Structure 1
Amino acid sequence: MKQLFKGKGWKYGALPVLLLLLLVLVLPGCGAGSRSAIVEGKVNVVTTFYPIYEFAKEIGGDDAHIINLLPTGVEPHDWTPRSQDIANTSKAQLFLYNGAGLEGWVPNFLKGLSGDSWVQAVEVSRGIELITSGEDDGHDHESGEAEDAAHTGTDTLHTDPHTWVSPKSALIMAANIKDSLIKADPAHRGGYEQRYQVLESKLKALDAEFASTLSGLPKKEIVVSHQAFGYLCRDYGLTQHAIMGLSPDAEPRAQDLVKLAKKVKAEKIRYIFFEELVSDRLAKTLAGEAGVKTLVLNPVEGLTDKQKKNGDTYFTLMSSNLQNLVLALQ
């Protein structure tokens, strides 16, 4: 298969019909905009999920070939790689992953790469001051200005991996991606630097817009479906109350929903936020119990098929988030 990816040695006319059928069935099934073949003559970069993919594409431009592992419409917390992903990554020059506990499969994945692989693995969240919280039991967790410090004592600590949801953290991630591209492909340093500066300007403008807009709103508390907005809350003076924990699969207890419904009523919170890539069942249940409405707050973990078709990006989704936050916090 290594020769097949490099386009050498194999004669497609000589391949058995069965193998051709397998190639037709397997390769397109990898998901649009995700798993694609290695390209010769460019630095090949494999990314683990959407935000890293978008930033790498913007910085890499025509000088880099970016392969995103996570298919469109898939939530990253539960996804695991396939053998084709290992094959592609073994032939790449860079493997960019978020880290901070998001991709628990990474250590074994890297061990599974071919012995002759020269791929450099880069944790793009490095340099961000990470948030830790108590045991991820799916109960109502809070994080904000007063609650983003590490718990002490005997609590089990869990790192919040959702770094990219804050433009301030996204700036650090983009710089790490730029540096890794320059290290892997110094011949195109100028292009990477130039395109990074464009991305940096956009992220700084988004950061400034979030800071100025949210600072002027009277309310500061939001209720979300899962605990994905800790960095956003910390950086812009908000507090989140989450139905579920750091993982969207953590199911809350009935008494936790009742307690949260009482808080929503007492604090006159008008909206419960839900996400497109996760079931909205619990958010709607809580909204019905509290007598309020629901709105989308997108953790930008990936695009839906509709969002991809519409040309949505990290920036359009974050702008929509800000609009909905304004509506909820007035």
Structure 2
Amino acid sequence: MLYKSLQKGLLSSAVLLLVLALAACGPKSSGSITEGKVNVITTFYPIYEFAIEIGGEDINAINLLPVGVEPHDWTPRSQDIINTSKAQLFLYNGAGLEGWVPNFLKSLDSDSEAKAVEVSKGVKLIMTDEEDGHDHGHDHSHGEEETEAEHGDSLHTDPHTWVSPKSALVMAKNIKDSLQAVDPAHTAGYEERYQKLADRLSALDDKFTEELGKLPNKEIVVSHQAFSYLARDYGLSQHAIMGLSPDAEPRGQDLVKLAALIKEEGIRYIFFEELVSDKLAKTLASETGVSTMVLNPVEGLTEAQQKNGDNYFTLMEKNLQNLILALQ
């Protein structure tokens, strides 16, 4: 009996050491659980920002994705499982962005009360035949199965919903509703702060509609296919060097076609993004004699942007200014 309990104790210690060793690896997420507040775990930056705006003083938000890391190739650590098990709310984008979520939720403590909410629910999703590279078990929780069934298994969901202020409005409401559901005592505060955020997002939406509507050109060439929702909602046409995944390699013939399109349409700028290599965008730009400029999919902040106090609104405003410059 003593041997068995000793064996069990050693096993527990070994598991604990393994967990601690794993927890020490890699960049850390943004905080720890706080007693007496609603603990909200978010999977990446835009959801974190909106949760803080709406939650205010009533919540403690922990963003899993560290600063300067691109969400497509990130997976959670053991500490993230521990924190989420103790939290009240787990907010993730869905639409195929975080392929690790189903297994992650299964690995939470059995007594965890964390409510998992897919914040892109209600956004009209874009299906594409581009290889996604996010989620090899597709996420069909949006009633999109019919589309996929009609086309065999060749379609993927484009997960970049938040890049359009119109979709961001839907997401903000989902975050507000989920906070009110787990913490009804602070319903009024959540509602009031949500209204302020929604007003800012609506104003941003109006500005994008008005400014982009005036421009003569509508074709944009981007390094990674992250701007479909933005293009759909504001009348632009997106041509991507790579697919939905920022590390998908383009084929030679695709680059030749893009180069021809750039010349034909008189395109003057190729857009790249900070968290992904700009090598291909710069190569294509030098071959076609055009310039490069940033178009930010707002998947996360760089260290410099964080120091600078940047957020969803400042980055989207900069995107709009760069689009105006490129499409005049």
TM-score (normalised: structure 1): 0.86
Query: Which of 48, 52, 75 is the matching residue for 2:47?
Result: 52
Cα deviation per residue 1:81-117 (whole Å; 9 max; x = unaligned)? 0000000000000000000000000000000001110
**Cα distance between partner residues in 2 of 1:153 and 1:299:** 28
3-state SS in 2 of match to 1:244:
coil
**Cα distance between partner residues in 1 of 2:225 and 2:278:** 14
Query: Which of 54, 65, 68 is the matching residue for 1:70?
Result: 65
TM-score (normalised: structure 2): 0.87
Q: 1:26 Cα deviation (Å)?
A: 3.4
3-state SS in 1 of match to 2:73:
coil
3-state SS in 2 of match to 1:294:
strand
Q: 1:289 Cα deviation (Å)?
A: 1.2
Aligned to 1:236: 234
Q: 1:218 to 1:189 in 2, by over 3 A?
A: same
**Cα distance between partner residues in 2 of 1:316 and 1:197:** 19
Q: 1:137 to 1:99 in 2, by over 3 A?
A: closer
* Structure 2 residue runs without a partner (length 5+): 1-16, 134-146
Aligned to 2:315: 317
Q: CA contact under 8 A between 1:53 and 1:67: conserved in structure 2?
A: yes
Q: CA contact under 8 A between 1:50 and 1:301: conserved in structure 2?
A: yes
3-state SS in 1 of match to 2:254:
helix
Q: CA contact under 8 A between 1:134 and 1:155: conserved in structure 2?
A: no
3-state SS in 2 of match to 1:96:
strand
Q: 1:30 Cα deviation (Å)?
A: 4.4
Q: 1:270 Cα deviation (Å)?
A: 0.4
Q: CA contact under 8 A between 1:63 and 1:188: conserved in structure 2?
A: yes
Aligned to 2:263: 265
Q: 1:190 Cα deviation (Å)?
A: 1.0
Aligned to 2:10: none
Q: CA contact under 8 A between 1:135 and 1:155: conserved in structure 2?
A: no
AA matched with 1:97: Y
Q: Is 1:89 aligned with 2:84? A: yes
Query: Which of 242, 245, 248 is the matching residue for 2:243?
Result: 245
Q: 1:135 Cα deviation (Å)?
A: 3.8
Aligned to 1:143: none
Q: CA contact under 8 A between 1:35 and 1:85: conserved in structure 2?
A: no
After TM superposition, the structure 1 = structure 2 runs for residues 21-32 of structure 1, keeping only pairs within 5 Å, are: 26=24, 30-31=27-28
Q: CA contact under 8 A between 2:132 and 2:156: conserved in structure 1?
A: no
Q: 1:179 Cα deviation (Å)?
A: 0.3
Query: Which of 109, 118, 122 is the matching residue for 2:117?
Result: 122
Q: 1:189 to 1:153 in 2, by over 3 A?
A: closer
Identity of aligned residues (%): 73
Aligned to 2:287: 289
**Cα distance between partner residues in 2 of 1:119 and 1:153:** 36
Q: CA contact under 8 A between 1:72 and 1:303: conserved in structure 2?
A: yes
* Structure 1 residue runs without a partner (length 5+): 1-18, 139-149
**Cα distance between partner residues in 1 of 2:73 and 2:85:** 23
Cα deviation per residue 1:93-152 (whole Å; 9 max; x = unaligned)? 0000000000000000000001110000000000000000114289xxxxxxxxxxx685
Query: Which of 29, 35, 43 is the matching residue for 2:30?
Result: 35
AA matched with 1:98: N
**Cα distance between partner residues in 2 of 1:137 and 1:56:** 27
Aligned to 1:109: 104
Aligned to 2:195: 197
**Cα distance between partner residues in 1 of 2:106 and 2:305:** 34
**Cα distance between partner residues in 2 of 1:191 and 1:236:** 32
The RMSD of aligned alpha carbons is: 1.8
**Cα distance between partner residues in 2 of 1:186 and 1:26:** 36
3-state SS in 1 of match to 2:220:
strand
Cα deviation per residue 1:266-299 (whole Å; 9 max; x = unaligned)? 1100000000000000000110111100000000
AA matched with 1:130: L
Aligned to 2:163: 165
Q: Is 1:276 aligned with 2:274? A: yes
Q: CA contact under 8 A between 2:130 and 2:244: conserved in structure 1?
A: no
Q: CA contact under 8 A between 1:224 and 1:274: conserved in structure 2?
A: yes
**Cα distance between partner residues in 1 of 2:59 and 2:250:** 43
Q: CA contact under 8 A between 2:41 and 2:87: conserved in structure 1?
A: yes
Q: CA contact under 8 A between 2:227 and 2:238: conserved in structure 1?
A: yes
May I ask how many residue pairs the two structures share in their alignment? 295
Aligned to 1:187: 185
